[in-house]
């Protein structure tokens, strides 16, 4: 999945194979909202991972058929399906990574914040169940507005006494995937080589691609920077409008979610060279939650890579200051919801 896939892991697996010691796939992943537009395609991609032994699919409806279909793929992960609140707890037992795409998607004309009222309650209920049944799992929130649903999840976990900020992630991988794609197209680069850090949050102007930190090093005109930044920020709306009422970005999101899950599994498996951008509890800025590049390890966030925020261009610095009030308001809205 990853343009930042590291050679070390491939090397170590090669060595293990040579020595006849291939490690059995051991990790279990649960997807909550698995029958939806976003839930289904990453379930397929994650089913292909050699690192998982079990894939638990939970939804309030229509999950049996998805599970029957997926279970015919001859990859190691065993598929189990769970329908409705009575089966939620069982879907989470023994799970290492929980992915949450449950909720309603945007329709044309809606912002991610318009989803707040419905999705906030869904995320609260699901995270309560995670706290009760697999409190040590990595929790990956896809349900929008991510800027608020992650703070909601953190409050719920605190209320349950099991909050580990290193294991709670807002999935912003799609912003990086889009930034990499659009920059590679614009600059005629090999996609596999391109890595653009995207920081801030996951809605509108809170999505801040740091184009000056693009690897490989590349120069942009000011006009290119402004056009690319706006395109990356509005790419979700591009898809929502093209689908004209039939959902939001699901396939590119599936790719991004599967990449983040695979990175997490590699980190859990002991790979010591796994980096992704994610929206997490953070001390990088004065905001309590902030997306930035992180290093993933067995215990979750092993390090926050702050160096991307050093030496920003004037445009990036201004954009960073401009996003803070909106992101702060979204965080406070989430925290207030969880505590009311
Ligand atoms: P969808 O409507 O196709 O699927 C949502 C699924 O959630 C349905 O299967 C529904 O039955 C299920 N669901 C609803 N309430 C539930 C509950 N209480 N427990 C378990 N499952 C429940 O919507 P889609 O397109 O899959 O989008 C899902 C979410 O992902 C939306 O909030 C959307 O905004 C968000 N999203 C996030 C992105 C990101 O980059 N983080 C990108 C695109 C969308």
Let me know: does 284 contact 245? Beta carbons within 8 Å.
Answer: no
CA distance 153 to 158: 9
Q: With a threshold of 0.90, does the pTM exceed it?
A: yes
pLDDT lower than 70: segments of the chain: 1-24
For residue 2, the model assigns a pLDDT of: 44
- CA of 37 relative to ligand 1 center, distance in Å: 7
Atom of ligand 1 at shortest range from CA of 63:
9
For residue 10, the model assigns a pLDDT of: 47
Those residues whose C-beta lies under 8 Å from the C-beta of residue 18, and which sit 6 or more positions away, are: none
pLDDT digits (tens, 9 = 90+) for 125-161: 999 999 999 999 999 999 999 999 999 999 999 999 9
Residue 30: CB within 6 Å of ligand 1? no
For residue 308, the model assigns a pLDDT of: 95
For residue 248, the model assigns a pLDDT of: 85
Those residues whose C-beta lies under 8 Å from the C-beta of residue 104, and which sit 6 or more positions away, are: 115, 118, 119
For residue 246, the model assigns a pLDDT of: 86
Interface predicted TM-score (ipTM) = 0.97
**Residue to mutate (ligand 1; options 38, 100, 173; most atoms within 8 A of CB):** 38
* Packing angle, helices 63-70 and 40-47, rounded to 10: 30
**Residue to mutate (ligand 1; options 63, 87, 101, 251; most atoms within 8 A of CB):** 101
- 293-323 CB burial, b ≥16 within 10 A, e <16: bbebbeebbeebeeebbeebeeebeebbeeb
pLDDT digits (tens, 9 = 90+) for 225-279: 999 999 999 999 999 899 998 888 999 999 999 999 999 999 999 999 999 999 9
* Packing angle, helices 251-268 and 40-47, rounded to 10: 40
CA distance 45 to 259: 9
Which residue's CA is the closest to the ligand 1 atom numbered 25?
37
Residue 59: CB within 6 Å of ligand 1? yes
Residue 119: CB within 6 Å of ligand 1? yes
For residue 111, the model assigns a pLDDT of: 84
Residue 43's alpha-carbon distances to 12, 102, 117, 204, 267, in angstroms, are 27, 13, 26, 27, 19
């Amino acid at each position: 999945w990853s343009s930042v896939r590291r050679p070390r892991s491939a090397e170590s697996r090669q060595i293990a194979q040579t020595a006849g010691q291939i490690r059995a796939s051991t990790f279990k992943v649960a997807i909550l909202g698995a029958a939806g537009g976003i839930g289904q395609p990453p379930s397929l991609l994650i089913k292909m991972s050699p690192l998982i032994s079990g894939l638990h699919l939970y939804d309030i409806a229509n999950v049996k058929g998805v599970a029957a279909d997926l279970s015919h793929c001859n990859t190691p992960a065993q598929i189990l399906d769970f329908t409705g609140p009575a089966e939620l707890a069982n879907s989470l037992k023994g799970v290492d990574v929980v992915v949450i795409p449950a909720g309603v998607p945007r329709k044309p004309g809606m912002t991610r914040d318009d989803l707040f009222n419905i999705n906030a309650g869904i995320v609260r209920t699901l995270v309560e169940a995670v706290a009760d049944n697999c409190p040590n799992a990595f929790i990956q929130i896809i349900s929008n507005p991510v800027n608020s649903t992650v703070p909601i999840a953190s409050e719920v976990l605190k209320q349950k006494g099991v909050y580990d900020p290193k294991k709670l992630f807002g999935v912003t991988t799609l912003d990086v995937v889009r930034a990499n794609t659009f920059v590679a197209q614009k600059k005629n680069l090999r996609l596999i080589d391109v890595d653009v850090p995207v920081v801030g949050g996951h809605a509108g102007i809170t999505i801040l691609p740091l184009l000056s930190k693009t690897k490989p090093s590349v120069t942009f005109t000011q006009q290119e920077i402004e056009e690319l930044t706006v395109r990356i920020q509005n790419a979700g709306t591009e898809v929502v409008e093209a689908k004209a009422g039939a959902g939001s970005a699901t396939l590119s999101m599936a790719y991004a979610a599967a990449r983040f899950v695979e990175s997490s599994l590699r980190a859990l498996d002991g790979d010591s060279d796994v980096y992704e951008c994610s929206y997490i509890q953070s001390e990088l800025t004065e905001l309590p939650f902030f997306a930035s590049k992180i290093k993933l390890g067995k215990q979750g966030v092993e390090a926050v890579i702050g160096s991307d925020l050093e030496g920003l261009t004037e445009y990036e610095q201004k954009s960073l200051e401009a996003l803070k009030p909106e992101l702060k308001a979204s965080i406070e809205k989430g925290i207030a919801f969880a505590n009311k």
